[in-house]
Amino acid sequence: MPDRSLSPTTPHDSAACLLCVAVSTPAHSGVGEPLSYASPRPLPPGTLVRVPLGAREVLGVVWDAPAEPAALPPGMVPRTVAGVLEGVAPLDAAWRRLVSFAARYYQRAVGEVALAALPPQLRDLTPEQLARRLRRPAPPAHPSEAVAKTIALTAEQASATAQIDTERGPFLLFGSTGSGKTEVYLHCVQRALAGHPAAQALVMVPEINLTPQLEARFRERFAPLYGEAAVVSMHSGMTPAQRLKSWLAAHTGAARIVLGTRMAVFASLPGLALVVVDEEHDASYKQQEGARYSARDLALWRGREQGAKVILGSATPSLESWHASTPASEGGPGRYLRLHMPSRIGSGDGAGTGELPRVRLVDMGQQPRSSGAGGVFSPPLLAAITERVQRGEQCLVLLNRRGFAPVLHCHDCSWKSDCPHCSAHQVFHKSDRTLRCHHCGFTQRVPRACPSCGNPDILPLGRGTEQLEEQLAALLRNVITPDRRAARVARIDADTTRAKGALEEQLAQVHSGEVDVLVGTQMVAKGHDFRRITLVAAVQPDGALFSSDFRAPERMFALLMQAAGRAGRDARYVAAQGSPPEMWIQTWHPDHAVYAALRRHDYPAFAARQLAERQEAGMPPFAYQALVRADARTQEAAQAFLQAASDAARAAGLPGLDQVFLFPPVPLAIQRVANVERAQMLLESPQRGALQRFLAAWQPLLHAERPRHRGLVRWLVDVDPQAI
């Protein structure tokens, strides 16, 4: 594709400066490097500019000129920069190096990564509009006269913070649920900010719903020291104006602390001194659209490159991080320093000690088939929930599937509520009598009768959180709490939290004790500090035990262990109640090794077993992977593109090919979404460098192959994929 920044007819002042500008070009255009533009005056790299691109005017970032600039095509002259966003200081060299590395490693264009990392409103504002925005008075950032609240550290917390203060890191803070990892983060941030007047800290969480409670704790600690404006958030749930305001505060240094989700890893932080990645194991840190980067891995790279300390925190670390933190004395690489906090604090002020919940397995093979709620709740579990509610305690029931039922089914003709656009079922949502596809979003009303044979008796198969909530409410309808009221059951999932502020309102009801039993998906199983929950139950967790995805047991173990951590977090409350916290797991496979390790809260034993299996099979972290995915009008077209690309790589003898194994193309598990067929091809190598060299050399061949396949919609490369 020709460089659309160049024109043979644009007037050009020979005295003008030639600039390299990173702009977001079409994904499959093959134009991945910064483009050439003319400017009447020199502009430093990192300057934000408006430039013409084709028939549009777009935002760009002045980029570093290559050591050997390429000659312009004969007869072509560069188009001229349309405007400069004068009020914004240039993005520094460290930020540009981060973007360049991310683009190179994840096989994307520099302009795509750079522009996606900037707040959307910057892309729309003209220089004049931005100047008016910047002239608006900012709220005063003076600290209040209040004294910052401090909490005495436990011996384990003090040991961890001392090592973080004195060692280089990076650090893996391996602390059990409720061990006080957040207090360690707060202490380390305070030390980092006190060390230099311009120092900044970045604290990341995996999901938006964890941001408000973390922000409240950081504001409580740091607003008295640095002012309310010193703490800002960055996540996709904010309005464009809010995101721009937070970004500018971080970019100018006015914000000393940035809290955010994975997108915050690209925040412009010129004084970055500390990076914290909480729940570092969570798959949400891997972007699944566009540039498929891992925010955790980029945080590690950024910290090393900028000289900032990096803390990865988790009760169930990713196997990659656990392996990297295995000391050399134990046969590991020892790249991270592992800090262990095994003891649970369990009370809000840091006093007292708490116990981890006892894990109880219910063998569903030994339970009566006609037990309560159609077999969902075994009699022992139902009795345990009832007893807790009668004592005024709260329970959490986990089912990682929203909706009422995964599918509607006709017993006469075997019709199922399949999505017409995807190779998946439409989920039955009873609350609004709809069938919804959770892949493409297609929604329709529930039919009055079977569309195939007319049978009016179509029934739901399987269970979702909506059905669980309804059935549990019926089972507990006669249970009375100590304050003489009927038990209340509530549900928190993606359906109940769609409205703005809904999640915060529902969490507040749980914290205030208005809810006795909370039914939810994984969004309530991690990070939340529920003080009165003493029992957690996972009712149908077995599916991940036999998944074709080799990471499924790791994700399952982490989810269940994190969910167990919601029980018994307040030691004083538990002691006053006299009932130790419990985690109940209903399973058809009680002897499985995953459950055996979970019963002992023995993550090291689980990790050791999993790593041994992966090493024997040559899987990450002992190998490096990439996926090439093709979307096309037919499955044949998708696989044909991938096979042709594989053949072209072999024919060209690309560098690194002797150390890269290309598997045959196969359909995805959900092979059709929104009437688009999807196929993928796995690449694997024992050497990261060999895989990177191969992918970089393969890019031109992939671009060249695309026009030869008319049915192809798009293709993409996913480096270090989290799901296969």
Q: How far is Cα 54 from Cα 48, in angstroms, rounded to an integer?
A: 19
Q: What tokens does 602 get?
A: 């023995």
- 440 marked among binding-site residues: yes
**8 A C-beta contact, residue 626 and residue 721:** yes
Does residue 188 have a known ligand-binding role? no
CB 38 within 8 A of CB 16: yes
Q: What are phi and psi of 487, to 5 degrees?
A: -60, 140
Q: Is 105 helix (H, G, I), strand (E, B) or coil?
A: helix
Backbone phi, then psi, for 413, in 5-degree steps? Answer: -120, 5
In one letter, which amino acid is 151? I
Asked whether 90 and 46 are in contact (CB, 8 A), the reply is yes
Helices and strands of the chain, counted as H and E runs: 19, 30
Residues 6+ apart with CB under 8 A from 427: 402, 403, 404, 405, 406, 407, 435, 436, 437, 438, 464
Alpha-carbon span 178 to 361, nearest angstrom: 22
Q: How far is CA 461 from CA 372, 415, 493, 538, 722, in A?
A: 17, 12, 20, 19, 29
Only one residue has tokens 């029934």, namely 459
Please indicate if the annotation marks 419 as binding a ligand: yes
Torsional sign, CA 555, 558, 564, 569: negative
Q: Helices 635-652 and 688-705: crossing angle, nearest 10°?
A: 120
437 labelled as ligand-binding? yes
Helix (H) or strand (E) holding 676: strand 676-685
User: In the structure encoding, which two tokens stand for residue 306, read together?
Assistant: 């900028």
CA-to-CA dists, residue 454 to 413, 429, 447, angstroms? 10, 21, 10
Q: For tokens 């196997």, what's the residue?
A: 319
Tokens (6 digits) for 370: 């006609």
Say if residues 72 and 16 touch (Cβ distance below 8 Å).
Answer: no
Instruction: Output DSSP code: residue 462.
Output: S
Element (DSSP H or E) covering residue 690: helix 688-705
SS (H, E, C) 559-570: HHHHHHCCCCCC
Residue 330 identity (one-letter amino acid): E
Query: Alpha helix locations (H) across 365-501?
Result: 379-390, 465-475
Is residue 422 marked as binding?
yes
Question: Which residue, chain included where needed, has tokens 């002897």?
Answer: 591
Rounded-to-integer distance, Cα 121 and Cα 238, Å: 12
Feature table: binding site: 410, 413, 419, 422, 437, 440, 450, 453
Feature table: binding site for Zn(2+): 410, 413, 419, 422, 437, 440, 450, 453
